């Protein structure tokens, strides 16, 4: 599916395939050094291409999991990975993580990826979506609130970056 960004450029949104593993690993290694808002920093992604292939195969085979890519001219500029537990009592609730390449921030890629996830969720039996976001990441929090997510709590010391602890909000959306 094509999406027009705020600056007029067009990105293609699609579900990742096993064949995307190498490009995804390279992308994650690159974005790791662009922001302290991720759960991993520069040199910390630590997933091999083979392990990523296995992971993508598992995502494709599991009803309550999806991995979306945003691409421009064949280059990954954003991703959203949504996953949930497999226990019957919990299969309805998923969590997601999202990345956008720094040069593409503020153009609507995150919103487009979230819209793709929200369109996918009902068909996957998902009725609750959860996320964790740094308490000081105001832009992301505004996006999540615009999409209907509400604050459900705050987790203290959810990350430690260069010896400094960071708190995270837990947010959720009931579908």
Residue 98 has pLDDT above 90, yes or no: yes
Are the C-beta atoms of 57 and 19 separated by less than 8 Å? no
Number of domains in the chain: 1
Q: Which long-range contacts (CB under 8 A, 24 or more apart) does 55-59 make?
A: 56/16, 56/17, 56/18, 56/20, 56/21, 56/24, 57/18, 59/16, 59/83
Q: Is residue 168 part of a domain?
A: no
State the alpha helices, DSSP H only, in the chain: 21-31, 49-60, 109-120, 138-146
Q: Is residue 71 part of a domain?
A: yes
Domain containing residue 7: CATH number: 3.40.630.30
State the alpha helices, DSSP H only, in 46-158: 49-60, 109-120, 138-146
- Whole-structure pTM value: 0.94
DSSP, res 31: H
Q: Is residue 174 part of a domain?
A: no
Q: Given its phi and psi angles, is residue 43 left (phi above 0), alpha (psi -120 to 50 degrees) or beta?
A: left
Residue 99 has pLDDT above 90, yes or no: yes
| Residue-range definition of the domain harbouring residue 20 | 2-125
Report the pLDDT averaged over residues 19-47.
Answer: 91
Residue 43 has pLDDT above 90, yes or no: no
pLDDT of the residue at 108: 97
Q: Is residue 98 part of a domain?
A: yes
Rounded distance, CA 104 to CA 70, Å? 11
pLDDT of the residue at 129: 98
Q: Is residue 146 part of a domain?
A: no
Q: What is the pLDDT of residues 131-155, one digit of tens each?
A: 999 999 999 999 999 999 999 999 9
Structure tokens at 139: 């832009």
Q: Is residue 139 part of a domain?
A: no
Rounded distance, CA 151 to CA 156, Å? 14
Q: Is residue 148 part of a domain?
A: no
Q: What is the pLDDT of residues 51-64, one digit of tens each?
A: 999 999 999 999 99
Instruction: Identify the burial level of 31 via C-beta atoms within 10 angstroms of its C-beta, where 0-12 means exposed, 13-18 middle and 19 or more buried.
Output: buried
Average pLDDT for the chain: 96
pLDDT of the residue at 66: 98
Q: How many CA atoms lie less than 13 Å away from 68 in the CB half-sphere?
A: 28
């Amino acid at each position: 599916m094509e999406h027009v960004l705020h600056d007029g450029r067009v990105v293609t949104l699609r579900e990742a395939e096993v064949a995307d593993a190498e490009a995804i690993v390279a992308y994650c290694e690159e974005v790791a050094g662009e922001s302290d808002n991720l759960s991993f920093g520069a040199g910390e992604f630590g997933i091999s291409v083979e392990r990523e292939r296995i992971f993508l195969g598992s995502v494709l085979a599991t009803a309550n999991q999806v991995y979306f890519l945003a691409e421009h001219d064949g280059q990954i500029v954003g991703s959203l990975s949504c996953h949930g537990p497999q226990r019957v009592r919990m299969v309805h609730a998923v969590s997601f993580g999202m990345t956008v390449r720094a040069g593409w921030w503020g153009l609507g890629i995150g919103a487009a990826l979230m819209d793709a996830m929200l369109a996918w969720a009902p068909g996957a039996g998902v009725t609750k979506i959860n996320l964790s976001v740094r308490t000081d990441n105001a832009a992301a929090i505004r996006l999540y609130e615009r999409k209907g997510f509400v604050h459900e709590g705050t987790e203290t010391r959810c990350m430690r970056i260069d010896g400094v602890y960071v708190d995270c909000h837990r947010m959720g959306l009931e579908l």
